[in-house]
Structure formats: structure tokens, C-alpha cells
Amino acid sequence: MKKEQFEAFLKANEKRIYHYLLTLVANDNDANDIVQMVFISFYEHIDRVEEATAVAYLYRIAYNKSMTFLKQKNRYVSLDPHSFSRLPDRSAPEPEPDHSALHQALRELPPKLASVIHLQYYEKLSYKEIAKKLGITVKAVESLLVRAKKQLRKKLLREMQGKGV
């Protein structure tokens, strides 16, 4: 297709594309914006378009541009600014959680179980590193961690039940 034919082609198909886009995006302003994008894109590639397939090519551009527009539009959430007034105040520092029951339960664990918990959660060591440090196998580390967690869970649950939580 030749660039000289573009204006006549635009006038002949602008309303059709607009109505097509309106069914896709369901908003007058958005449809108008996309119509402009469609015809700009069409004009940029007009020398590669054959006259016989020009309308089909135009509809394909319209569809693709509208889908891209809708995807981008869905990334943004529009909220009423007054809804932010109901959010909790994050500037006030949150009180530190009480971990005393956990620390007490850790002190009551057998030394080997407590050391495995300490190495994994406080020193952030891998199973392999813990095994090397304690001179045991990785499977033994896994087993010790399971037993330690089970005992900690029991102790903490007993503590919580005793406090009536």
C-alpha cells in the first residue's frame, strides 16, 4: 500500500476500528486513544501492507494494541485517596514480641538438640555445615532437628496452655 492512500484508508476505516475497540475496552476515551495508536502503527508499516489484506491487518493491530493496553491498565489499581486514612499508623514502633518462653524452652532442651537448633536458626548454617561442625552425618542432623522441633513445640504449647492463651 502507498502512503498517499493512507488518508482515504483512515477515513474509510476509522469508525469501524473505533467501534471494534469500544467493544474490547468498553471505554470511550480508551478506545479513542487506541485508535490513534493503531493508525500510527499502521502508517509506520504501510509500505509492507498489501491492499487486499490491509483491513485484516488493521484489525489485527487493533486487537493487539487493545490487549496490550488492557494488560497495562490491569497493572494499576485505582483507589480513592480517602481509603488510605483507614490504614493503621506504621510510624509508631511495634512492640517487641516476647520470646522469653522460646528461650526458656531452648535452655531446657538436651545440649545436642539445642546446638542443632542454634546452628540452623541463629548461625544460619546449612545441614551440611552443621554435620561437619558437629562431626555427624547430614541424616543425623535432619533427625536431630525433627526431634528438637517436636520437643520445642510440646514445651511451648504446655507453656501457652499454662498461661491460658
The reported pTM is 0.48
Alpha-helical runs (H) found in 4-90: 6-25, 28-44, 54-74
CA distance 67 to 40: 17
- Predicted confidence at residue 165, as pLDDT, reads 61
- Predicted confidence at residue 77, as pLDDT, reads 66
Would you say 35 and 65 are in contact if contact means Cβ atoms under 8 Å apart?
no
With a cut of 50, list the residues of the chain below it in pLDDT.
Answer: none
**Three-state DSSP state, 76:** coil
Q: Which domains does the chain have, with CATH numbers?
A: 3-74 (1.10.1740.10), 100-163 (1.10.10.10)
The label of the residue with cell 487506541 reads 34
CA distance 44 to 42: 5
